[in-house]
Chains A and B, each alone.
Chain A
Amino acid sequence: MVLAVLISAPVRATDMTLTITTPSAPPPPAGSLTISVPATFDLGSSTAGATIAPTMGSVTVTDTRGTAAGWTVGVIASALTNTTVGNTITPTAMSYSTGLITTTGTVTMLEQDQTNLTGVVPIATASLGSGIFSATWTPSLDIVIALGSADGVYSGTLTHSVA
């Protein structure tokens, strides 16, 4: 928060103006690798036999290390578990695509779409970077709901890892 107290016309009765502004966040600290904070996302509701494509927030990775070392982003999903009957939708039924990756600075991004999120599978690799650079994408996640899946609420975890 920035507080700026402007006092005008000191001769007359006090006229005070207070301006409060919230600054936008400065770039991440030098020498670090940074990932944006994940937004809450929901899977919505669907019927057995359908494919769902939940809306996810964008992911940004910023590299201020100043090396050409690059990094890899991996994704892993847990099984989605039906909280009442214990039925699961496994990560083998999930696909992930980064779609278009927007970059700032100098870097080459290699995208790798995945159709099985069981392991920590690589979905994007940064190489030939120099100076400060960043990459942003909005993931597309597809989940196939098998026929015969039990009714109910399913929950699980999706993890992005960058190193």
Chain B
Amino acid sequence: MVQSSNQGGLGIRISQIPSEVESLPNSGIYIVTRLLPSTTHTQRLEVSNSTTKPMHVLIYPGPAKLVDGNFLPLAQGSKSELVSWSSVSPSSIDLPPMKSSEVTVTIKVPAEVSPGTDFGVIWAAVASTPSASGVVSINRVGIRMYTPVGTTTTSSTPPPVSSGHSHTSEFQWLVIGILAFAVCALAYRELPFVKKQRKERRRALKKLERR
């Protein structure tokens, strides 16, 4: 059992979380930066080789979509605005055994954007040596991108974590208001000069009745 987890491979992780998204859920495992028009965002990732052999790694952005809440990568070449704005530097690395290296993802957002949430993946890929007949097997591992575009949209996924503090509803304020009014009214009745006035009124009424 230990053997399989110790086999090693090609790994990827976020090595630096941009401060503006630090408080967002999943900012440590996905790219979740809000993309405003005419801005440029950079984020550092770390690609690692945990095997005992050297590895040639290609790093590139790829398109993805969300279908019924499931995140699905799309075939290379599928149309994606996010992918056309994204680049990775360096785009290929030769990693010695047991070494890791940082890459920088740059997202250049144009002036004209349509608001929404864009999905993509930054892939790190390693290929097998081609077989005699030229068959190649590629394994790739990626960091998902869930990026809200523009100012109005909210990030649809990852789901926000419940913040814990409750908000007082309008109904609750109405009840509080009525109670406060009742307390004030009762207190007013008990004021000395109000009591005196009431007594005098009662006396005057009795006088009238006697007549």
A-side interface residues toward B, CB under 8 Å? 22-29, 31-43, 56-57, 59-62, 65, 67, 69, 72, 74, 76, 80, 83, 102, 104-105, 119-120, 122, 125, 132, 134, 136, 153-163
> Count the A-B residue pairs with Cβ separation under 8 angstroms: how many?
191
Residue numbers in B under 8 Å from A69 (CB-CB) = 26, 29-30, 158
List residues of B (10-41) whose CB comes within 8 Å of A's CBs.
10-14, 26, 28-30
B29 near A157 with CB under 8 A, answer: no
B-side interface residues toward A, CB under 8 Å? 1-2, 4-14, 26, 28-30, 46, 48, 50-53, 55, 64, 70-75, 98, 100, 121, 123, 125-144, 158
B6 near A27 with CB under 8 A, answer: yes
* Docked CA distance A133–B106 (Å): 31
Contact of A161 among B8, B30, B46, B123 (CB under 8 A): B123
Residue numbers in B under 8 Å from A39 (CB-CB) = 128, 137
Residue numbers in A under 8 Å from B11 (CB-CB) = 28-29, 32-35, 62
Residue numbers in A under 8 Å from B142 (CB-CB) = 33, 161-163
A38 near B100 with CB under 8 A, answer: no
Residue numbers in B under 8 Å from A22 (CB-CB) = 52
Residue numbers in A under 8 Å from B121 (CB-CB) = 161, 163
Given contacts A59-B139, A104-B2, list 14 more A-B pairs with CB under 8 A.
A23-B52, A31-B14, A42-B132, A42-B135, A62-B9, A62-B11, A76-B75, A80-B135, A105-B5, A120-B75, A158-B135, A159-B137, A161-B140, A163-B64
A35 near B75 with CB under 8 A, answer: no
* Docked CA distance A57–B126 (Å): 15
B10 near A34 with CB under 8 A, answer: yes
B131 near A32 with CB under 8 A, answer: no
* Docked CA distance A161–B73 (Å): 8
Minimum C-beta distance from A70 to chain B (A): 10
* Docked CA distance A61–B64 (Å): 20
* 3 A-B pairs closest in CB distance: A155-B134, A25-B8, A32-B13
A65 near B6 with CB under 8 A, answer: no
A162 near B141 with CB under 8 A, answer: yes
| Closest partner residue, chain B, to A102 (CB atom) | B4
A41 near B128 with CB under 8 A, answer: yes
B141 near A27 with CB under 8 A, answer: no
| Closest partner residue, chain B, to A70 (CB atom) | B71
Residue numbers in A under 8 Å from B8 (CB-CB) = 25-26, 28, 34, 36-37
Whether A28 touches B48, Cβ cut-off 8 Å, given contacts A155-B133, A155-B135, A159-B138, is: yes
